[in-house]
Chain A
Amino acid sequence: MGRLRNTAASAVEDVRDDTGREPGVIGARELPLLDLEAPERVQTATFALG
């Protein structure tokens, strides 16, 4: 549940821990800011449309 929290947000935390760089910047890559919004609130829904 909430896979989003395991990617962009945790990656940003990794960057903070390892390099002290600003959130949102990972190496040469800049993550979309939309991916950094409130991952702690994420819920999961699953549908099959037939």
Chain B
Amino acid sequence: MGYTGGTTRDPTYRTMGDHTETLQIDFDPGKIAYDELLDIFWASHDPLRGSWSAQYKAAVFVHDSEQKQAAERSRDRTVSVLGRPARTEILPAERFYLAEGYHQKYRLQGVRELAAEFAEMYPRVSEFVDSTAAARVNGYLDGYGSLELLERERERLGLTPAGVQLLRRRVEGRRR
């Protein structure tokens, strides 16, 4: 999580200025394509709703011409389905300012025991933010993934057996 798109230097949550709250993902295109991320993006917000403020603007920040073309194609597909122009913007990616630590991996930080295990693995917030394992555990806690997937990759998450069991219970619990 972070802030981008504005001109304010070194923004924070309380001094965001004209920046937008933004999610930045480092991904392996061998695992998931940019087009798939775009599909998830368009399905995860209302493209017809206008921006109330710079802070809560809906936008794709593209990092190169390929991403720009892919974003425009996906927007056009969405518009053809909706039958109305999308108000979501496609903008060039600019400097990205990382948000404060308490905004990162929010669901994971809400589970004290698991947060403590990751804090031990990654004493520095920047390491925690960049951790694939932390991102995946955060996703499980937010309702994504499956128990089957967790069982396949649990030994690679870096958690203790107690941590795995706690996560397993959370994933099982949401089935009920």
A6 to chain B, nearest CB (A): 7
* Closest A residue by C-beta to B134: A32
Q: Is the CB of A45 within 8 A of B25?
A: yes
**B157 partner, pick from A29, A32, A48, beta carbons under 8 A:** A32
Complex interface residues of chain B between 1 and 31 (CB less than 8 A to chain A): 4-5, 20-30
**A33 partner, pick from B21, B46, B158, beta carbons under 8 A:** B158
**B29 partner, pick from A1, A33, A34, A43, beta carbons under 8 A:** A43
Count residues on chain B whose CB falls below 8 Å from chain A CBs.
49
List residues of chain B with CB within 8 A of the CB of A50. 45-46, 49, 51, 56-58, 88
Complex Cα spacing A32 to B118, Å: 10
List residues of chain B with CB within 8 A of the CB of A48. 4-5, 20-23, 56-61
B9 to chain A, nearest CB (A): 19
List residues of chain B with CB within 8 A of the CB of A38. 28, 30
Per-position binary interface string of chain A over residues 3-43, scored 1 when its CB falls under 8 Å from any chain B CB and 0 otherwise: 11011100100000000000000000111111101100111
Interface stretch (choices B76-84, B101-109, B124-132): B124-132
